[in-house]
Amino acid sequence: MRLIHYILIALLWGFLFSAYAKAQIRVLPILEQSSDARATAMGGLSMVENHGMYLYQNPAMLHYAPKDFSVEAGVKFFPKLEDAGREKLTSLSLGYSFLERHVVLAGLRYLGGLSFAQPDPISGADTDKRFFPYTLTLDLGYSYLLNEQLSLFLTSGFIRHHTSRTGFAGTFSLGANYRQDLSEARWNIGAKVSDFGTPLIYQNGAKYALPTSAELSGSYSMLFSDEGTLSGVAGVRYFFLPSKGRLLRAGIGTEYCWRKLLALRAGYDYGDKGTGGISGGVGINYNDLRLDLTYRHGTHQHTPNSFVITLGYAFGKKE
C-alpha cells in the first residue's frame, strides 16, 4: 500500500508539471502516432481488444493472449518530402505475462528520417550542412489483473527530442480495462489517461507541455459464421493539454477474421481542426506469427497519408 501511495504522489506531481508548462501548440507528435497496423486500420483507437504492440496500445490485453511472451515491431511510413526525405515511425514492443496476474512490458519508439539544410546563424541563409531531427522514447509498462474481467496498468517513458536543439521529457500513462466473455461473443471497454509528466525541457530552459490525452473506447466481437468472427470498435480521445492545443478525435472500425488466419479491416477517424482519415488493412496469422498491413488516407489538409506494417510473434506456454 505504501508503494501505491508513493506512485500516486509521483503521478500527481507529474500532472502538475504538465499543466504549468508552456500552454502552446502540441509538441512531440510521436506520442500521438501509432505504428500498430491493426489499430490504424480500425479508427486509430488503442483502448480496445488488440492482439499485439501491447505496450503502446492496451497493455491489459496480454493477460488474455494465448502465449506468455509477445514481440512486435512496426513501421509507419509518411509521404516523401522534397529535399527532406521520408519520415518514419518505428516501434518495438516486448511483453511477458507471468504468475497468472502480472504483465511487464518494455519498448522503444523512434520518429525520424528527415533532414533539413542548416541555416547560417548570422545571415539565415541555408548552408551545405544539414541537421536530422528525431524523437526517441524508451518505455516500460506493468499491468495487474484484479480478476478475470478487470485489470489496471501503468506505463512510463523517457523522451529525447532533437531538432536544432535537444530536449528531454518523462511521461506516465494510467489506464483500466474491463472484458466480459459471453457464450458466442465478447465485449471490452478500456480507459486511459496518456502522457502526463515532466514537460519537454530544452537545454536553454524552455519548457513545453506534453500532449496529454484521455481515451475511452470499446469493442464487441461475435461469432459471425462457422468459419469467421466479426468485430466492431468505437471510441473517443481528447487532448486537453496544452490548453491552446486541445483536440478531439473519434474513431470507428470493423474487422472480419476468417478461421483465425486472414483478417480484413476498415475504419474511419475524425478529428477537429482539420484532422481525420479513412483506412483499410489486412492481417495474416500463421501459427504464432502475425503480419498486418494498413493504408490510411488523410481526408483533411493537416493529415498526411501513411502506410503501416507490423510483424509480431508470440511464444511460451499459457494456452
- CATH number for the domain that contains residue 46: 2.40.160.60
Q: Which contacts (CB < 8 Å, 24+ apart) does range 297-302 have?
A: 300/271, 300/274, 300/275, 300/276, 301/274, 302/273, 302/274, 302/275
The confidence band for 126, taking pLDDT boundaries of 50, 70 and 90, is: low
Torsion of CA 78, 80, 84, 89, to 10 degrees: 20
Q: Residue range 42-65: average pLDDT?
A: 94
User: pLDDT tens, 211-259?
Assistant: 999 999 999 999 998 889 999 999 999 999 888 889 999 999 999 999 9
pTM, two decimal places: 0.89
| Whole-number Cα distances in Å, 198 to 110, 123, 159, 307 | 20, 35, 10, 32
Range of the domain at 173: 2-318
C-alpha cell recorded at residue 15: 500532472
Q: Establish whether the linkage from the previous residue to 242 is cis, with ω within 30° of 0.
A: yes
Number of domains in the chain: 1
Q: What is the pLDDT of residues 248-300, one digit of tens each?
A: 999 999 999 999 999 999 999 998 877 889 999 999 999 899 999 999 999 87
From the list 301, 190, 197, the residue with the least C-alpha distance to 241 is: 197
Q: How far apart are CA 181 and CA 105, in angstroms?
A: 25
Rounded distance between C-alpha atoms, residue 301 and residue 139, angstroms: 32
